[in-house]
Copies of this chain bind each other. A is one copy, B any other.
Amino acid sequence: MLDFTFKNATDIRFGKDHIDHELYDVLADFGQNVLLVYGGKSIKKSGLYERVLGLLKGLNVTELAGVEPNPKIASVRAGQQLAKEHQIDVVLAVGGGSVIDAAKVIASAAYYDGDPWDLVLHPSLRFDIDQLPVVDILTLAATGSEMNFGSVISNPDIPQKKGTGGPNSPAVSFLDPTLTYTVPARQTAAGASDIFSHLCEQYFDNNNNEVSKCMIEGLMRTVIKWGPVAVKEPENYEARANLMWAATMALNGIVGAGTLNSWTVHPLEHELSAYYDITHGIGLAILTPRWMEFALNSNTKPLFARFARSVWDQYGYDDMELAENSIRRTHDWLKSLNPEMTLPDVGITDDSNFAAMAKAAVKSGRLATNAYVPVTERDAIRIYQDSMKEFNK
């Protein structure tokens, strides 16, 4: 097992009964001036926006609305300005991973005088400055941002979509599964695909942390079971709750303790989102089985066979057959969630950007040197090309 460090002080309040009783006190402990960060329509439509505003009575609330999926640096810049102007004490993010991701960088940018894109490109800058506490109310089970140190911010002018980290995970995260009842089936599926991808990225890794591998297998089984239930029965509490907690556990650092390799499918997907602004989880669903086909070889066969046995309940003696079977099962499960399983399905019909995307992904993800199975630019192009047509193995 590789050496690691782990510390994560996020205070989780999981369930139906926390927000109404605890939100005000949690915020007021940090101060009176609250920057409320959110996306837009969905929390207004669901009534959550009004409910939260009602709970914040007595505090000074400044609003930053309109944070986008694949949050843009422009939102962070706007948040930075508001935080400085209104002497904000605490950032309250209400939304999914995008909103929380943006809130974390805003929390640092409040103490930074330059352009916050600097902070995205050079995370070390954030470790030298103070930051505001972030409190969040999660409305989508997907990214794990509610209990980790990371953010993914897009700069469409370049275009670039970049993962970045800071010194603090959210101070307090309210995880109420009922707030995800109104998430549409397509977004629920994308979220489940995102969770599953996070688990794959950490499982297909050349480390020998059996504790992590075994826990990941358990989390994968949970997502495989409950993802489709949540899509079909949006108000099934157990499905929403298990999916929400699995999302948090998949990316709070626990199951990534002592991993060795950098991630592969995420850097490849980030280029798709940067160029075409597609839904992150759907991009992952499309790329994952193609990446698995690419990654399966005689060296990786034993782990794919173990994946087949432990996650997909497959039995047999032929490891290569088991491994192939696990990839087919992964594809079929993802397709059962996401009908859009090729790039043309999401509107990407020509391959003219693939070379530039491959180059950027290999560079930003250090895929040629640090990936579980090294990926060259040519390999990356092939994975994008394979994603143009139906998966057929």
Listed in ascending order, the chain A residues whose CB lies under 8 Å from chain B are: 1-18, 177, 208-211, 213-219, 221-222, 225-226, 237-238, 241-242, 245-246, 249, 254, 257-258
Contacts and interface: CB of A to CB of B under 8 A. Distances in A.
A91 to B, nearest CB: 19
Contacts of A3: 14-18
B221 A214 contact: yes
Contacts of A219: 211, 214-215
Contacts of A13: 5
18 contacts: A1-B237, A1-B238, A3-B16, A4-B15, A5-B11, A5-B18, A7-B12, A209-B242, A210-B226, A211-B222, A211-B245, A214-B219, A214-B222, A215-B215, A215-B219, A217-B218, A245-B257, A249-B254
A351 to B, nearest CB: 40
A242 B210 contact: yes
B218 A258 contact: no
Given A3-B14, A4-B15, A211-B245, 12 more contacts: A1-B241, A5-B11, A7-B11, A8-B8, A14-B258, A209-B245, A210-B222, A214-B219, A215-B219, A216-B218, A245-B257, A249-B254
A227 B242 CA distance: 30
A225 to B, nearest CB: 7
Contacts of A215: 215, 218-219, 249
Contacts of A258: 14
Q: How many copies of this kind of chain does the complex include? A: 2
Nearest to A5: B13
Which of A5, A11, A210, A246 has the most chain B CB atoms inside 10 A of its CB?
A210
Contacts of A2: 15
Contacts of A177: 1
Contact of A249 (B9, B11, B16, B211): B211
Contacts of A214: 217-219, 221-222
Nearest to A221: B214
A95 B5 CA distance: 20
A211 B3 CA distance: 26
Contacts of A5: 11-14, 18
A2 to B, nearest CB: 7
Contacts of A254: 249, 254
B245 A14 contact: no
Nearest to A240: B1
A308 to B, nearest CB: 14
A6 B14 contact: yes
Contact of A242 (B1, B7, B9, B246): B1
A4 B9 contact: no
A219 B255 CA distance: 12
Closest 6 CB pairs of A and B: A3-B15, A214-B218, A9-B9, A1-B241, A7-B11, A218-B218
Given A5-B14, A11-B5, A218-B217, A210 B237 contact: no
Nearest to A171: B7
A242 B12 contact: no
A18 to B, nearest CB: 7
